Each structure stands twice: as C-alpha cells, then as structure tokens.
Amino acid sequence: MEPTILRGKPVVQEIEANLSERVKRLLAKGITPYLATILVGDDEASATYVRMKGRACERNQLESRRIHLPETVDTAALIDVIKNLNDDSAVHGILLQHPVPSHIDERAAFEAIVPQKDVDGVTSWGFGRMSLGLRSHHSCTPEAVLNILDHYEVPIKRKRAVVLGRSPILGKPVSMLLLNRDATVTTCHSHTENIDEIVREADILVAAVGKSRFVQGSWIKPGAVIIDAGYSENMGDVDYAACREVVSAITPVPGGVGPVTIANLLRNTVAAAEQMLLR
C-alpha cells in the first residue's frame, strides 16, 4: 500500500485562511503586522529561507524588513541591532536567521530579543513557557511538526515518538510538544548508542539531525510515520526512497515541514501584533 505523503501545502492554506481575517481586522485599526528578519553572513540556504519568508509576508499583507549584516559582525553589534528592533514600536516580530557564524554567541543574541517579539520561540523564556504548556509563541518548526500530524489526523497520544536531534530550536522543543500531547518521547543525539534500534521502536519519528539521508529504511518500524525536518540541497535527514517503502506516512523534502514553518512565523507575528493592541 502506498504511504500517505504529508504535504505541507494544505496545512499552509489552512493557516493562511485563518490569518486572512485576523490581518484584515488589524489593518482596519491601522496596524500592519511587521516582521523584521536578521541575516548574518552570506549562507545561500539561509538567504533563500529569508526570501521565502519575505514573499510569504507579502502574500499575506504583512510588512517585512530584511536586515543583512556582514559575516564579520560581532555579538555586541548584532545585539545592538536587536535592541533597536525591540525599541521600534512598528516591529511586532523579530527573527534571527539560524545558523549565525561560529564566532557569534547565538544564545546571547537570541536572549536579547524581548519575549513579546520572539516570534520564533528561541528565548529561554519562550521555551520554558512552551514546555510548561503556558501561553507563548511556539518555536515555528516544532509547531509545524504538530500542525502536520494534526492536519492528517495522525494519533499522538500513547504513541512512541523518537526525536533525532536535541537542538534548542528544534529537537528539544518538539520533544516537549510531543510530551505535552501524551506521547512517550525518546530524544536521541550524537552520543546515543544503538540509535538504529531506538528508531525502530518509533511509531512517530521526527528527524532533525541536519545530516542528509542519515536515517535508513532498515531502521524504520513498518507502518511508522516520519516527519523529516531536515533540509540540505533538496534532501532531508531520511533516505526518502527507502523509508517510503516501509512507512504509513512521510513528509517530502522539500514541500513538507518547511512551508508550514514559515506559515507559523507569520501566525506568531500576527498574534504579536494583536497582543500589542491589548497592552
């Protein structure tokens, strides 16, 4: 039997349809939701993501500003840019495109974003509230994983979920979101032994290791669901062709998690604009 291909497009259409009315209400009150995106350096993949986010903003009547800083910028200068955006009342959301050059203290830069404008859920404040099930802007890619599972009515409760990766903006938050939905979650990382055996126990596998075709078809439990959150040169973290022969459902790369991530970024920016009205 052919597996279900968990395409992101219908999920995006659902999110954007909901956003349309919310944006219209804000525009009627003279408020245009405004996202500022900071790109450091000349990484082509990051530049592509930023362009895609800008086009999505335009399509949904959000204002966007792209701030492109040189590779040589230091942490202090980057934080100064973030602080200026914090103080700009026209800006509702701030996104620091990941990854930044290795000489920058990325965590310090993330923490410089005020929580109200942390529309990618990268601050420790946002992560903590999300993990506790409290109101916050959820991390966009982890939330996209849940959006896709829900849209295609994939059961989460009581399922064994395995997350490959423990990054603070993907692996850790998606593990918390799944745990909050009553999945039994195992988080694997570079020091995990017998990783293939652990993956073979997964009803739901979230691949987020940043290694192309890392997950092999022989690792997969028959009938499992795979959410591939990796992306490198149009390839994900799983061997798609091999895994497709075993799974009941799988996301494509590209066209799976990525577009839903961007839709969530817009949704969080609109929510930030709405919340500013209430303050």
User: Catalytic pick from 53, 117, 159, 172?
Assistant: 53
Q: To which H or E segment does residue 65 belong?
A: strand 63-69
Q: Which two tokens stand for residue 169?
A: 């903006």
User: Catalytic pick from 117, 118, 120, 172?
Assistant: 120
Q: Are strands 160-164 and 204-207 parallel, antiparallel or unpaired?
A: parallel
Q: Verify whether residue 221 is a known catalytic residue.
A: no
**CA angle, 136 then 138 then 140, to 5°:** 150
User: Catalytic pick from 74, 87, 88, 97?
Assistant: 97
DSSP H helices, the chain, are 9-28, 44-59, 75-87, 106-111, 124-131, 140-151, 171-180, 195-199, 240-244, 257-278
CB atoms within 10 A of CB 130: 21
Q: Verify whether residue 275 is a known catalytic residue.
A: no
Q: Verify whether residue 216 is a known catalytic residue.
A: no
**CA angle, 2 then 145 then 218, to 5°:** 45
CB atoms within 10 A of CB 252: 16
Question: How far is residue 256's CA from residue 13's CA, in Å, rounded to a whole number?
Answer: 13
* Closest-CA residue to 253 (of 245, 268, 243): 243
Question: Quick check: 121 and 137 in contact, CB under 8 A?
Answer: yes
Question: How far is residue 90's CA from residue 106's CA, in Å, rounded to a whole number?
Answer: 25
Active site residues: 53, 97, 120
